[in-house]
Structure 1
């Protein structure tokens, strides 16, 4: 009986030591899995700004399923309606000092706000070397921000987030929130940026807001804005490719399909094409304040028009903004002849290699146009 008891005690002791060692190892290796280490890093990165990681996860509005005809809608529109009410998301990357602080932000003459998905690394790199380079131009400062959400899930999402983090460490120019970076969430991206601007860059004089696949002549932007009678950004300005007398597209085959469950009205207010437009800091803050009481519409440029209309303001047309593409008079003419691009403000849809080449060609001192 005594031998059995001693053996039993020995086995229990060994088993206890194994459990203790397992718990130590588990405690060490689980930190990255359950997010504690990641949260610690985020808190350290943003220890002066609890806002960036404090928003809770937005819950699905299940009552959206009761909307008439909901079950017949495409999945991405159903998702939009489920989460349409969500306006706050945790911030993953921040540049709170981009404008030198809220009180110093008037030193920023032109803030480039560029919508970019995580996968578009090549576009961002080319823009940083060309028209979106941060610099002093004609005695005023140009600053740059890319605004982004997240894409995919699991390992691929983590890889893309890591890519943006590495870019951010080097360039300090990315704002990223933890929401799905999709076409129907472009309006959300705009609202989140304006919320950030109100806090961190409220006195910036002018903004360029556009896509990462446009060719923009920021030299010409500065020249145009400096030539305004009121060029301190304190007056209304919203200009670009003016679109008016149109309404929602009801065809499900269209990328821009908006069903009546999303927008009942058959008409849109005047707005500027979302590929790129210029606005004053004053107007940016007006749009943000109006957005607080306007239900989100997935087409972001139309939503801007709605906010302007509610404020009793409107957009204007600028002949140098070509979001629908540039007209070339002859099929025998090189559509990438730099003389067509030297005087414009922007043209939509450029490949990165063409962007890089065009920027250098229009700045070639040997370029001769109008002969």
Structure 2
């Protein structure tokens, strides 16, 4: 890191000065090296987005603790003020998942409730990595110029950083959309029924505070096998079972919760399983997630054979590909009764 580089240069400078005995040559070496140090610092300033902090032993590449000094590369801070929506949907998505973003824009992200501003849909990205990262970043900028719906933060986007993306999402919602009633986090492979979701949320029985819903998991066992993708060691989370939490595929919360979750998260060690981490925060807040009125409307494993009537009655269903999402949505919205 740049801090190690600084220490190495300072050691070298001390050595140069001592051996030159403050000669003119030593002063010149000192000034030259000082200039190089300053140049390196300003060309590569340290920031959380590129530091790889290991929270547990198998964290893998790019994992960082929640950064307090992140910045948005792409932002739309006036979206909620412009539209005054009832619901804001944030879709965390990998930078390279261009087809998934286009599929959503062609389908449920283009619902008339979205077009008229009752619902706002935005995509949340980190930085691309790999050999083609510069080319991909240029395409992301062009995509945002065209659609005006990308939020991008300056840390590497990876599976291990999903919790960070979620916390940044909550920060954005807290700061940008305080007057909105509800916020939803939706995965990019979900076929979402915007109208069905709004009907559910606007029911008189739905509270406007301390409310979070989705497909709630109870009694999910903490994985202790180091070879498992979801392994969490004892020193990170000692309990054998996670508290209840809504699955990350799609959960919805009242707009008072982003600030409350952010505040209590300062006391809770982060884990990379983002929906389980939300559960840890909710437990500390003494807020229980609630299942939706109709559990059958949130589906992780849909039937293998497509059925128009079945899908028309769901709110959130997992799909296998962007093409499948487009195909199902198009068929559901054909003229005539679905059942």
User: Which category of TM-score, normalised to the shorter sequence, fits these structures?
Assistant: 0.7 to 0.9
**Residues 284-323 of structure 1 aligned to structure 2 (within 5 Å):** 284-318=258-292, 319-323=295-299
1:143/1:134 Cα in 2 relative to 1: closer, same or farther (>3 Å)?
A: farther
> Which of 56, 61, 69 in structure 2 is aligned with 1:88?
69
Q: Where do 4+ consecutive residues of structure 1 move more than 3 Å?
A: 54-62, 85-88, 137-140, 228-231, 320-323
> Which of 123, 127, 130 in structure 2 is aligned with 1:150?
127
**Residues 255-274 of structure 1 aligned to structure 2 (within 5 Å):** 255-274=229-248
Distance (Å, rounded) in 1 between the aligned partners of 2:164 and 2:48:
15
TM superposition shift of 1:85: 5.3
Distance (Å, rounded) in 2 between the aligned partners of 1:131 and 1:301:
23
What residue number does 1:108 align with? 85
1:210 aligns with 2:190: no
Q: Does the aligned pair in 2 maintain the 1:290–1:310 contact within 8 Å?
A: yes
1:221/1:55 Cα in 2 relative to 1: closer, same or farther (>3 Å)?
A: farther
Q: Does the aligned pair in 1 maintain the 2:308–2:338 contact within 8 Å?
A: no
TM superposition shift of 1:260: 2.2
CA RMSD of aligned residues (A): 3.0
How many residue pairs align between the two structures? 298
3-state SS, counterpart of residue 215 of structure 1? strand
1:55/1:270 Cα in 2 relative to 1: closer, same or farther (>3 Å)?
A: farther
TM superposition shift of 1:368: 4.0
Q: Does the aligned pair in 2 maintain the 1:55–1:88 contact within 8 Å?
A: no
Gaps of 5+ in 2: 1-39
TM-score by length of 1: 0.72
3-state SS, counterpart of residue 228 of structure 1? coil
Moved more, 253-262 or 357-366: 253-262
3-state SS, counterpart of residue 260 of structure 2? helix
Q: Does the aligned pair in 2 maintain the 1:117–1:149 contact within 8 Å?
A: yes
1:94/1:270 Cα in 2 relative to 1: closer, same or farther (>3 Å)?
A: same
**Residues 42-191 of structure 1 aligned to structure 2 (within 5 Å):** 56-57=47-48, 60=51, 73-74=57-58, 76=60, 80=63, 83-84=64-65, 86-100=67-81, 107-133=84-110, 135-136=112-113, 141-153=118-130, 155-191=131-167
1:340 aligns with 2:323: no
Moved more, 89-98 or 288-297: 288-297
TM superposition shift of 1:362: 1.4
TM superposition shift of 1:94: 0.7
Structure number with bigger Rg = 1
Distance (Å, rounded) in 1 between the aligned partners of 2:50 and 2:93:
25
TM superposition shift of 1:180: 1.7
What residue number does 2:255 align with? 281
Q: Does the aligned pair in 2 maintain the 1:273–1:323 contact within 8 Å?
A: no
1:338/1:133 Cα in 2 relative to 1: closer, same or farther (>3 Å)?
A: same
3-state SS, counterpart of residue 74 of structure 1? coil
Distance (Å, rounded) in 2 between the aligned partners of 1:152 and 1:182:
9
1:219 aligns with 2:203: no
Q: Does the aligned pair in 2 maintain the 1:275–1:323 contact within 8 Å?
A: no
1:216/1:290 Cα in 2 relative to 1: closer, same or farther (>3 Å)?
A: same
1:55/1:89 Cα in 2 relative to 1: closer, same or farther (>3 Å)?
A: farther
TM superposition shift of 1:151: 2.4
TM-score by length of 2: 0.79
1:235 aligns with 2:209: yes
TM superposition shift of 1:353: 1.2
TM superposition shift of 1:139: 8.3
Gaps of 5+ in 1: 1-33, 40-53, 329-333
1:122-164 Cα offsets, whole Å, 9 max, x none, are 01001011112264379870111101111224x5111121121
1:222/1:84 Cα in 2 relative to 1: closer, same or farther (>3 Å)?
A: same
